[in-house]
């Protein structure tokens, strides 16, 4: 109930901000997004949400995968045990639900520089404090296009997403690896050693 109340307050803040912008004349920072901008931002947000979800899975939870056909001794030579968070079963289920989280996002531009973002209105700690730093962009679709774009990206890039999250070692920088390097949705430069993507601070707090 508390989360729902905070969410309604966040939506109310956007609506009030929109009316204020209309009354005063649209702020330059709140100009509409290009289709390329919003698709890039949704791709990054989707990968961020997947990394956050994977990071919350109990690292002790494991699952047996592979060929379950038995040999002459009754053992399966191809069967192996992996982290549950890296299993195709878990990741497929996550991809089926991750786009629902786009309902918590809204298009906005930072007041200080006009930089576009899709801002998550609610965090695990309540309303996102960055809401006061942006002008929300309303384009008539009430941000429903964010979820639709997410579904499109996940469907088109399913195999690439699975490979990224199933690889051995820590899962990180998937927003750049998928959205820029593999899918070509964004135009960032290749990852540098000291690169740290937006949302990493939130992961560190979890």
Q: Kindly give, in sequence order, each residue whose CB lies less than 8 Å from that of residue 187, ignoring residues fewer than 6 positions away.
A: 40, 180
Angle formed by the axes of helices 144-156 and 35-55, nearest 10°: 70
148 pLDDT tier (thresholds 50, 70, 90): very high
Region 8-27: mean pLDDT is 47
Q: Do residues 162 and 93 make contact, with C-beta atoms less than 8 angstroms apart?
A: no
**Which pair of tokens denotes residue 122?**
């609610």
Query: Which of 95-99, 168-172, 195-199 comes out lowest in average pLDDT?
Result: 195-199
Q: What is the mean pLDDT of residues 109-120?
A: 94
Q: Assess contact for 174 and 47: CB atoms under 8 A.
A: yes
Mean pLDDT over 173-186 rounds to 95
Flag whether pLDDT at 131 surpasses 90: yes
Across the chain, mean pLDDT equals: 80
The one-character DSSP state at 126 is E
pLDDT over 50 at 178, yes or no: yes
Q: Which residues, including other chains, have CB under 8 Å from residue 36's CB and lie 6 or more apart? A: none
CA-based radius of gyration for the chain: 20
Q: What is the pTM of this model?
A: 0.75
Q: Judge whether residue 64 has pLDDT over 60.
A: yes
Mean pLDDT computed over 158-168: 95
More confident residue, 184 or 191: 184
**Mean pLDDT (whole number) for 159-187:** 94
List the 134-136 sheet strands across, edge first: 116-120, 105-110, 134-136
Helix boundaries (H) for 84-143: 88-97
Report how far residue 41's alpha carbon sits from residue 105's, in angstroms, rounded to the nearest whole number.
Answer: 11
| 68: phi then psi, degrees, rounded to nearest 5 | -90, 5
Segment among 3-7, 45-49, 95-99, 121-125 with least mean pLDDT: 3-7
């Amino acid at each position: 109930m508390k989360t729902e109340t905070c969410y309604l307050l966040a939506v109310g803040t956007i609506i009030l901000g929109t009316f204020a912008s209309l009354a005063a004349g649209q702020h330059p920072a709140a100009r509409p997004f290009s289709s390329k901008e919003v698709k890039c931002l949704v791709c990054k947000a989707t990968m961020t949400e997947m990394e956050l979800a994977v990071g919350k899975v109990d690292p002790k939870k494991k699952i047996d995968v592979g060929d379950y056909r038995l040999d002459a001794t009754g053992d399966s030579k191809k069967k192996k045990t992996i982290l549950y968070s890296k299993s195709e079963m878990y990741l497929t289920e996550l991809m089926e639900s991750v786009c629902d989280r786009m309902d918590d996002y809204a298009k906005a531009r930072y007041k200080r520089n006009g930089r576009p973002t899709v801002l998550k209105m609610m965090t695990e700690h309540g309303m996102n404090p960055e809401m006061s730093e942006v002008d929300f962009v309303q384009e008539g679709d009430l941000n429903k296009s964010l979820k639709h774009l997410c579904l499109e990206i996940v469907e088109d890039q399913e195999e690439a997403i699975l490979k990224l999250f199933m690889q051995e070692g820590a899962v990180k920088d998937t927003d750049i690896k998928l959205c820029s390097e593999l899918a070509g949705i964004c135009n960032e430069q290749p990852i540098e050693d000291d690169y740290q993507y937006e949302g990493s601070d939130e992961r560190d707090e979890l």
